[in-house]
A and B are shown apart, each in its own frame.
Chain A
Amino acid sequence: MLKEDGTVDEALMPALSPDDIKKLHAHMVLTRQFDERMFKLQRQGRVGTFARVSGQEGAHVGAAFALRPTDWLVPAFRETGALMWRGITMVQLLQLWGGDERGGRFPHDLRTLPVAIPVGTHMLHAVGIGWALKAAGEDAAVMTVFGEGATSEGDFSEALNMAGVFRSPVVFFCQNNQYAISLPFSRQTAAPTVAQKALAFGMFGVQVDGNDVFAVYRAVSEALDRARTGHEPTLIEALTYRVTDHTTSDDARRYRPDDEVAAWRGRDPIERLARYMRAAGLLDEASEAAVWAAAEQKVADAVTAFEAIEPPGPDEIFAHVYAEKTPQLLEQEAELKARLAGRA
């Protein structure tokens, strides 16, 4: 509905106030600034390996924007903007990607599960959470996010099947960014789309332009409504593109042509939204520069705060394996501490 030139099909536009649209834009910009700064920090050795999200803000930020605080989010690892929208701080995300496990403490009240690194196995948790919401009579739903590579995993099918059978209120949100590390979508499946797989599991399937944030927001909003009110799960495929490497440890030039990447860079979801906003009088040169500068400052403040944090102590290794430490853990922790004390 939002075309490359920034014009929209008004008949399809979701109900978003000018203020909502400004917030959406500002959050997409913040996500971009954070991603780019994290990349620089990684190259400087100040954080570890992480998965970049630049170019996919339209998909995962648009989707997260449709969630209510009472809904749950079950993420994979390429949804930084969605996590931030849910209230996970940049400082915490820097900690997590910087090798400090305390960053994984996503507050329970935010109903946002920690980052799941194993591909394609976390969607089942969304089905179970959805079952629980429905059993408890809550007016809430679950969204789980994953890439198209995850749809080749067996647990993807088990999750969709279970959600269909139990009518679990889940929105399965696939960011089809065309590549799973080096493998193109055509080698993940012979099906032309992810969305059509919904049919086999007796649920709704929707394909949207993932770089059209309005289309994503609308599709996810409708699916969440269907989940909350009718306990109908939906599979949404948001077509986008991973303009960056897979992670900071990858070099995508080995397996895909530069002109393909350049073409997709030209379809940037933030710029597309900005074109619309400029035409609608929601953004001018000065305010746009201010949005980018404010985001840069927020990121800079977060990095400063992150780098001031004392490194974690060895207690953290043993603290959360079980609710109560076993005799084995107590002994091993004491052994480590005695060695450290001896060295000090």
Chain B
Amino acid sequence: MARLNMVDAIDQALLQAMERDPKMVIMGEDVGRDGGVFRVTDGLVQRFGEERVIDTPLAESGIVGMAIGMAIAGYHPVAEIQFSGFVYPAYDQLVCHAARMRNRSRGEFTVPLVVRMPYGGGIRALEHHSESMEAVFAHVPGLKVAIPADPYEAKGLLAAALADPDPVVFFEPARVYRAIKTEVPEEPYSIPLGKARIVREGSHLTLIAWGAQVRTVKDAAQELEAENVAQAEVIDVRTLSPFDFETVIASVSKTGRAIIVHEAPKTCGFGAEISAEIMERAVLHLQAPVVRITGFDTIPPLAKLEDYYQPDVARVVDAAKVLLEF
């Protein structure tokens, strides 16, 4: 089986979906001849032509708004936003139209649209290139939000998103794009939206993360094991909306302790939602308070200060030790 990085895994998922579905089109800034600034759509315009891999003018709202119309008229657009920090002009189209067209028309008109975008920090980038705004979209009824943690996950989750009848915002952790390779089957497969993944079983505490932070909590779990401190269970949430609370609640009911790790600012981050779910459904199982390890309530700092902001293994391990002795 081939070992691929996330860029190539996504490229392959797109290529296979485009081959199966003649109504699927890719659109965005520099996605055609240039293959995307991260090369995620590399080779697709050569394979499918400019009618199906569309270089658009530099206009995020225009891209998503036009894609909504294409979806309403029977096509399956996959729109790329070059960096998620630039999605805000398209936010109105996503929230006010993509997310609502089904409801507004009582199911007569629907928007099977995927909006992909790189997100998250750790790539030493310019301002606006390191944000994590997944909670902003997870809060919107009518949208789905998926975030893969590694190449295998990316191919399967994207396949599910591309087949979904509703709009999906697909966040691709830019830090993971070329950082790790996993085995990725050549044949198409799908990982259903709304199902979390137990990455590692454990009995003493539950570490919950998504995207690039899954690797942080996996490493933290290994360190806790190596130090003979605890066996940590690791959950990759995979989709924030719909959120699989059953898997999380089952795990926390077993372990009695939970740490949620995300890069986004702490206040109103999705960790708050997970923490609240645990309180509503599993409070009597808890041995210790639910803890969040997150970015700060600041603008993500530029390269020289970025490492202070990002959650890391040491922060997770230290928090775990406090919880275990609570």
Query: Across the interface, which residues of B come within 8 angstroms of A161, CB to CB?
Result: 57, 59, 62
**Would you call A158 and B72 a contact (CB within 8 A)?**
no
Contact of A162 among B57, B71, B106, B242 (CB under 8 A): B57
**Would you call A129 and B59 a contact (CB within 8 A)?**
no
In the assembled complex, the CB of A322 is this many whole angstroms from the nearest CB of chain B, namely 5
Contact of B70 among A106, A113, A132 (CB under 8 A): A132
In the assembled complex, the CB of A121 is this many whole angstroms from the nearest CB of chain B, namely 6
Contact of A104 among B70, B106, B166 (CB under 8 A): B106
**Would you call A126 and B69 a contact (CB within 8 A)?**
yes
In the assembled complex, the CB of A233 is this many whole angstroms from the nearest CB of chain B, namely 13
Query: Across the interface, which residues of B come within 8 angstroms of A154, CB to CB?
Result: 61, 89
CA distance A121 to B67 in the complex (A): 13
Query: Is A127 located at the chain interface by the 8 A CB criterion?
Result: yes
Query: Across the interface, which residues of B come within 8 angstroms of A121, CB to CB?
Result: 61, 65, 92-93, 96-97
Q: What number of residue pairs across chains A and B have CB atoms under 8 A from each other?
A: 142
Query: Is A124 located at the chain interface by the 8 A CB criterion?
Result: yes
CA distance A160 to B166 in the complex (A): 27
Query: Across the interface, which residues of A come within 8 angstroms of B185, CB to CB?
Result: none
CA distance A320 to B141 in the complex (A): 10
**Would you call A162 and B68 a contact (CB within 8 A)?**
no
Query: Across the interface, which residues of A come within 8 angstroms of B67, CB to CB?
Result: 128
**Would you call A320 and B96 a contact (CB within 8 A)?**
no
Instruction: Give the residues from 84 to 136 in chain A that come closer than 8 angstroms, CB to CB, to chain B.
Output: 101-102, 104-108, 113-114, 116, 118, 121-133, 135-136
**Would you call A128 and B107 a contact (CB within 8 A)?**
no
Instruction: Give the residues from 8 to 65 in chain B that come closer than 8 angstroms, CB to CB, to chain A.
Output: 51, 56-57, 59, 61-62, 64-65
**Would you call B97 and A125 a contact (CB within 8 A)?**
yes
CA distance A126 to B66 in the complex (A): 7
**Would you call A320 and B71 a contact (CB within 8 A)?**
no
Given contacts A133-B73, A320-B106, A327-B245, contact A118 B62 (CB under 8 A): no
Interface of A is mostly: helix
**Would you call B106 and A105 a contact (CB within 8 A)?**
yes
Query: Across the interface, which residues of B come within 8 angstroms of A326, CB to CB?
Result: 194, 241-242
In the assembled complex, the CB of B89 is this many whole angstroms from the nearest CB of chain A, namely 7
Size category of the binding interface on chain B:
35 or more
CA distance A165 to B62 in the complex (A): 12
Query: Is A15 located at the chain interface by the 8 A CB criterion?
Result: no
In the assembled complex, the CB of B270 is this many whole angstroms from the nearest CB of chain A, namely 14
**Would you call B69 and A158 a contact (CB within 8 A)?**
no
**Would you call B106 and A128 a contact (CB within 8 A)?**
no
Query: Is A155 located at the chain interface by the 8 A CB criterion?
Result: yes
Query: Across the interface, which residues of A come within 8 angstroms of B296, CB to CB?
Result: none
Query: Is B189 located at the chain interface by the 8 A CB criterion?
Result: no
**Would you call A320 and B75 a contact (CB within 8 A)?**
no
Given contacts A107-B108, A121-B97, A320-B102, contact A165 B57 (CB under 8 A): yes
In the assembled complex, the CB of B241 is this many whole angstroms from the nearest CB of chain A, namely 8
In the assembled complex, the CB of A74 is this many whole angstroms from the nearest CB of chain B, namely 8
Query: Across the interface, which residues of B come within 8 angstroms of A327, CB to CB?
Result: 194, 242, 244-246
Query: Is A323 located at the chain interface by the 8 A CB criterion?
Result: yes
**Would you call B65 and A155 a contact (CB within 8 A)?**
yes
Query: Is B265 located at the chain interface by the 8 A CB criterion?
Result: no
CA distance A135 to B73 in the complex (A): 11
Given contacts A128-B71, A322-B166, contact A158 B142 (CB under 8 A): no
Contact of A129 among B72, B144, B246 (CB under 8 A): B72
Query: Is B203 located at the chain interface by the 8 A CB criterion?
Result: no
Query: Is B103 located at the chain interface by the 8 A CB criterion?
Result: yes
Query: Across the interface, which residues of B come within 8 angstroms of A114, CB to CB?
Result: 101, 104-105, 108-109
**Would you call B65 and A131 a contact (CB within 8 A)?**
no
Contact of A320 among B57, B73, B107 (CB under 8 A): B107
**Would you call A105 and B59 a contact (CB within 8 A)?**
no
Instruction: Give the residues from 128 to 146 in chain B that come closer than 8 angstroms, CB to CB, to chain A.
Output: 141-142, 144
**Would you call B142 and A322 a contact (CB within 8 A)?**
yes
**Would you call B242 and A105 a contact (CB within 8 A)?**
no
**Would you call A320 and B103 a contact (CB within 8 A)?**
yes
**Would you call B62 and A162 a contact (CB within 8 A)?**
yes
Query: Is A341 located at the chain interface by the 8 A CB criterion?
Result: no
Query: Across the interface, which residues of B come within 8 angstroms of A309, CB to CB?
Result: none
In the assembled complex, the CB of B190 is this many whole angstroms from the nearest CB of chain A, namely 15
**Would you call A323 and B110 a contact (CB within 8 A)?**
yes
Query: Across the interface, which residues of A come within 8 angstroms of B70, CB to CB?
Result: 128-129, 131-132
In the assembled complex, the CB of B135 is this many whole angstroms from the nearest CB of chain A, namely 15
CA distance A323 to B246 in the complex (A): 21
Given contacts A165-B57, A320-B103, contact A125 B68 (CB under 8 A): yes
**Would you call A155 and B61 a contact (CB within 8 A)?**
yes
Query: Is B289 located at the chain interface by the 8 A CB criterion?
Result: no
**Would you call A125 and B106 a contact (CB within 8 A)?**
no
Given contacts A154-B89, A162-B57, A323-B102, contact A124 B246 (CB under 8 A): no
In the assembled complex, the CB of A66 is this many whole angstroms from the nearest CB of chain B, namely 20
CA distance A142 to B67 in the complex (A): 15
Instruction: Give the residues from 264 to 289 in chain A that come closer than 8 angstroms, CB to CB, to chain B.
Output: none
Query: Across the interface, which residues of A come within 8 angstroms of B245, CB to CB?
Result: 327
In the assembled complex, the CB of B151 is this many whole angstroms from the nearest CB of chain A, namely 27
Query: Is A17 located at the chain interface by the 8 A CB criterion?
Result: no
In the assembled complex, the CB of B97 is this many whole angstroms from the nearest CB of chain A, namely 7
Contact of A159 among B65, B142, B241 (CB under 8 A): B65
List of 3 A-B pairs having minimum Cβ-Cβ separation, nearest first? A128-B69, A124-B65, A132-B73
Residues of A whose CB lies within 8 Å of any CB of B are 72, 74, 101-102, 104-108, 113-114, 116, 118, 121-133, 135-136, 154-155, 158-159, 161-162, 165-166, 319-323, 326-328
28 contacts between A and B (CB under 8 A): A101-B104, A105-B105, A106-B108, A107-B108, A108-B108, A108-B109, A114-B104, A116-B97, A121-B93, A121-B96, A124-B62, A125-B97, A127-B66, A127-B69, A129-B69, A130-B69, A131-B69, A132-B70, A133-B73, A136-B73, A165-B56, A166-B66, A319-B106, A320-B105, A323-B166, A327-B242, A327-B244, A328-B243
New A-B contacts (5) at CB < 8 Å, excluding given A127-B69, A162-B56: A113-B72, A127-B62, A128-B67, A155-B93, A321-B103
